[in-house]
Amino acid sequence: MIKVLGAQGNIKNVDNFLKKILDFSQNYSIIIQVFNADMIYGKNHLISSVEHAKRAMNGKTNTTNSLGMEILLYASGERQLKLAIPKMGIKEGQSNIAFVFISVNKRINVKMIDHLIDEMLKLLSLHRNDTILEGNESVLKNFGIDENEIKTVTKDKYGDLILEKIAMVDIIK
């Protein structure tokens, strides 16, 4: 099961923040990957990244040793963590944050994962706001898509430009 959500809050210390997420994910046997939501163009951006990462792991074409890091690579459209982390990683201060939750435990149902999400957001002092995942033209530009590429599609197809970058990761391996 995959859940994608947006949240907002103040991150005082990135390392402590990530440690809390890691501990939480290990306690409940779920995979949680976190992103700078200002670089995300819709939920499909992250769902596609998860699907590509799973396919890479299953086909043994993965670049990293963890599904979470593989998702980060695909979401960034990069093949190297040294490029993906600065591009997609969270920053200190007031932040828009995107989360991907993946339950690998078949006993965890939708209601339980929703409860865990609420619990984690409370632990991190964040409030949920899925509208920050909607994306806009500035997200495309921040992502590295230039004006000429943007002009090739109508506004309702902007998300496809990101999905194309995700798919290109497999080609540039």
Taking 70 as the threshold, does the pLDDT of residue 173 lie above it? Answer: no
Mean local confidence (pLDDT), 130-138 = 92
What CATH number is given for 2-171 in this structure?
3.30.2380.10
Kindly state the helix (H) or strand (E) to which residue 3 belongs, with its residue range. strand 2-11
> How far apart (Å, rounded) are the C-alpha atoms in residues 84 and 36?
11
If we measure between CA atoms, which residue out of 43, 54, 69, 61 comes closest to residue 162? Answer: 43
Q: Where are the domains of the chain?
A: 2-171
Q: What is the pLDDT of residue 1?
A: 84
Percent of the chain whose pLDDT exceeds 70: 99
* pTM greater than the 0.75 cutoff: yes
For the chain, how big is the Rg over CA atoms in Å?
16
When pLDDT is averaged across residues 74-87 and rounded to a whole number, the result is: 92
Name the nearest CA neighbour of 87 among 73, 99, 101: 73
Average pLDDT estimate for 99-113: 83
* pLDDT higher than 60, residue 172: yes
For residue 65, the 8-state DSSP code is S
- The predicted-structure confidence for 10-48, as pLDDT tens digits, reads as follows 999 999 999 999 999 999 889 999 999 999 999 999 999
Half-sphere exposure in the Cβ direction for 41 (13 Å, CA): 25
